[in-house]
Amino acid sequence: MKVILQRVLSASVTVDKEMISSIGKGVLAFAAVAPGDTEKEADLMAAKVLRMKLWDDEEGGKWKKSVGDIGGEVLCVSQFTLLASTKKGAKPDFHGAANPEEARRLYHYFVQKVRAGYMEERVKDGQFQAMMEVALVNDGPVGFVKASFIFLAFGGVCANRGGYIIGYAGVEEWSQDGAIEDTLDETDG
């Protein structure tokens, strides 16, 4: 599972010329499900969305507050193109994305985990498998990416004030026997 977190002043999703979701200050989370992803990856990514310290505190301490700490909102948007490969030629290859049925199930599970871990009414969603226009006003000028390469393709308007882009390419650390290690600890938010 790959999740890109974007700190925003506002964001919205429009489908067929109708705005279906919008948030004010908070986090826009683009999420993609890979083959073999399980509820464990979705649980870890949902926790990361809610616990990541993206805002400064009132005393000027850097990276001290999460979306919950500031009373912000979360907008989750399914975006399978995050898992595209562009290693060969100029055309993206989407074999790195889960099949639509499995992706839908796990994406909705992820959104429900974000809602369950926060205030349900402050977590909004796009529309799975729809052509969405995603509009956002970035908040910041600093970006963080935890992935070797991200092919980011989405329609919409972007009013850029810098951007906090935090990418999580899922759980990337593996134990000797190939089991997934829980990489979310108290020190990293």
Known catalytic residues?
81
Contact 149, 126 (CB under 8 A): no
